[in-house]
Amino acid sequence: MKLEGAMPHQPVESARDDTPANLSEHVTDRRQFLRWGAFATAGAVSSQLPGCAVGGTLDTLREPMSLSSSNGVVSLDLVADYVSERIPLTLAPNAGTFPAASTMVDTMLRRYAGSLPAPTLRCKAGDTIRIRLINRLPPSPKGQSKLGFLNFQNGTNLHFHGLHVSPEKVGELYGDYVVDSWDAGVMPGQQRQHEVLVPKGHPPGVFWYHPHLHGSSGGQVASGMFGAILIDDPASSPFDPSVNRERVIFVHKYNLNGTGRTDSFYDSAVTPPSAFFLNGSFQPTIVMRPGEVQVWHFINSATFYAFNPVLDGHTLLAYARDGDPIPEGYRSINAETVKDFNAQNWPLNIQKWPGTFASPGSRISVFVKASDKPGDYLLRSAQSPWTTNPNLPLYEEVVARVRVEGDPLPHTIPTAPNTLQSRFNYFPPITDQELASKGGTTRNLVLGVVPLSDARIPKTIPQGEEWSVPAGDGADGFAGVVFAAGDMAGMAPFQSSLMKTQTVKLGDVEEWTVSSADSYPHPFHIHVNDSYVVKVNGEKLARPYWADTLAIPPRGSITFRIRFEDFKGKFVWHCHALDHEDLGMMQLVEVVA
* 84 within a domain of the structure (yes/no): yes
Please compute, for residue 172, the number of CA atoms within 13 A of its CA located in the half-sphere on the CB side. Answer: 5
Q: How far is residue 117's CA from residue 230's CA, in Å, rounded to a whole number?
A: 14
Q: Quick check: is 543 in a domain?
A: yes
Strand bridging mode 569-575 / 331-333: unpaired
Residues 6+ apart with CB under 8 A from 131: 75, 76, 77, 78, 158, 193, 194, 196, 209
DSSP code per residue over 425-442: GGS----HHHHHHTEEEE
Q: For residue 554, is it within any domain?
A: yes
Show the domain range for 381. Answer: 246-423
Under DSSP, the state recorded for 476 is G
Q: Which domain-ending residue is among 202, 236, 270?
A: 236
- Domain for residue 15, yes or no? no
Residue 9 covered by a domain: no
Give CA–CA dist 144/216, Å, rounded.
Answer: 12
- 188 in the same domain as 41: yes
Are residues 380 and 314 in contact, defined by beta-carbon separation less than 8 angstroms?
no
Instruction: Tell me which residue of 150, 165, 174, 156 sits closest to 200, measured CA to CA.
Output: 165
Residues 214 and 137 grouped into a single domain: yes
Among residues 427, 109, 142, the alpha carbon closest in space to that of 274 is found at 109
For the chain, what is the mean pLDDT? 89
**Among 374, 393, 423, where does a domain finish?**
423
User: Amino acid identity of 562?
Assistant: I
Same domain flag for 184 and 306: no
Which residue in 462, 491, 468, 498 sits closest to 583, CA to CA? 468
Q: Are 327 and 251 part of one and the same domain?
A: yes
CA atoms of 340 and 383, how far apart (whole Å): 10
- The DSSP code for 37 is H
Q: Which residues pair with 102 in a beta bridge?
A: none
Any domain includes 4: no
* CATH number of the domain within which 348 lies: 2.60.40.420
CA dihedral 42, 47, 33, 208 (to 10 degrees): -60
Q: Say how far apart CA 143 and CA 552 lie, in whole Å.
A: 35
Contact between 564 and 504 under an 8 Å Cβ cutoff? The reply is: yes
Dihedral angle computed from the Cα positions of residues 522, 276, 318 and 50, in that order, rounded to the nearest 10 degrees = -140
CB count in 10 Å sphere of residue 341: 26
Q: How far is CA 73 from CA 41, 205, 231, 480, in A?
A: 10, 18, 13, 49
174 and 38 in a common domain: yes
For the chain, report the end-to-end CA distance as a whole number of angstroms. Answer: 54
Q: Is the torsion defined by CA of 340, 577, 203, 310 positive or negative?
A: positive
Does residue 512 sit in the same domain as residue 547? yes
Q: Do residues 542 and 533 touch, judged by C-beta distance below 8 A?
A: no
Buried b (16+ CB within 10 A) or exposed e, 534-561: bbbeeeebeebbbbbbbbbbbebbbbbb
Helices (H), 357-485: 416-420, 432-437
* Amino acid at site 186: V
478: number of Cβ within 10 Å = 20
- pLDDT at position 19: 31
The three-class DSSP label of residue 501 is strand
Strands 509-516 and 557-563, bridge-based pairing: antiparallel
Look at residues 236, 259, 277 and tell me which one is the last residue of a structural domain: 236
As to burial, measured by CB atoms within 10 angstroms (0-12 exposed, 13-18 middle, 19+ buried), residue 166 is buried
Indicate the helix (H) or strand (E) that contains 35. helix 30-39
Q: Are strands 363-369 and 315-321 parallel, antiparallel or unpaired?
A: antiparallel
Looking at the structure, tell me whether residues 329 and 471 fall in a common domain. Answer: no
Helix (H) or strand (E) holding 580: helix 578-583
Q: DSSP characters for 204-247?
A: PEEEEEE---TTTHHHHHHHT--EEEEEE-GGG-SS-TTTS-EE
Identify the DSSP state of 266.
H
Is 210 found in the same domain as 67? yes
User: Could you give phi then psi for residue 210, rounded to 5 degrees?
Assistant: -165, 165
Same domain, 282 and 201: no
Number of helices and strands in the chain (H, E):
6, 36
In a domain, 389, yes or no: yes
Region of 418 please: left (phi>0), alpha (psi -120 to 50) or beta.
Answer: alpha
Q: b/e per residue, 496-516, with b = 16+ CB within 10 A? A: bebbbebebeeebbbbbbbbb
Domain count, the chain: 3
pLDDT of amino acid 2: 23
Compute the 3-state secondary structure of the chain and give helix, strand, coil in percent, each to the nearest 5.
10, 40, 50
CB 192 within 8 A of CB 158: yes
Question: Would you call 374 exposed, middle or buried from its count of C-beta atoms within 10 A (0-12, 13-18, 19+)?
Answer: middle
Nearest to 379 by CA among 403, 347, 345: 403
Cα 120 to Cα 167, 195, 383, 411, 484: the distances in Å are 21, 17, 29, 26, 34
CB proximity list for 125: less than 8 A, separation 6 or greater = 198, 199, 200, 201, 202, 203, 204, 231, 233
Residues 281 and 228 in one domain: no
Q: Are residues 387 and 273 located together in one domain of the fold? A: yes
pLDDT at residue 426, rounded to an integer: 76
Cα–Cα distance for residue pair 285/54, rounded to 1 Å: 12
Residue 171 inside a domain? The answer is yes
Q: Are residues 172 and 129 in the same domain?
A: yes
Task: Going residue by residue through the chain, which has 593 residues, state the pLDDT in tens, using 9 for 90 and above.
Answer: 222 223 223 333 333 333 333 333 333 343 444 444 445 565 655 544 454 555 689 999 999 999 999 999 999 999 999 999 999 999 988 999 999 999 999 999 999 988 899 999 999 999 999 999 999 999 999 999 999 999 999 999 999 999 999 999 999 999 999 999 999 999 999 999 999 999 998 999 999 999 999 999 999 999 999 999 999 988 878 888 889 999 999 999 999 999 999 999 999 999 999 999 999 999 999 999 999 999 999 999 999 999 999 998 888 999 999 999 888 889 999 999 999 988 888 999 999 999 999 999 999 999 999 999 999 999 999 988 776 666 666 789 999 999 999 999 989 998 765 445 555 567 789 999 999 999 999 999 999 999 999 999 999 999 999 999 999 999 998 999 999 999 988 999 999 999 999 999 999 999 999 999 998 999 999 999 999 999 999 999 999 999 999 999 999 999 999 999 999 999 999 999 999 999 999 999 999 99
Candidates 112, 158, 122, 118; CA nearest to 43 is 122
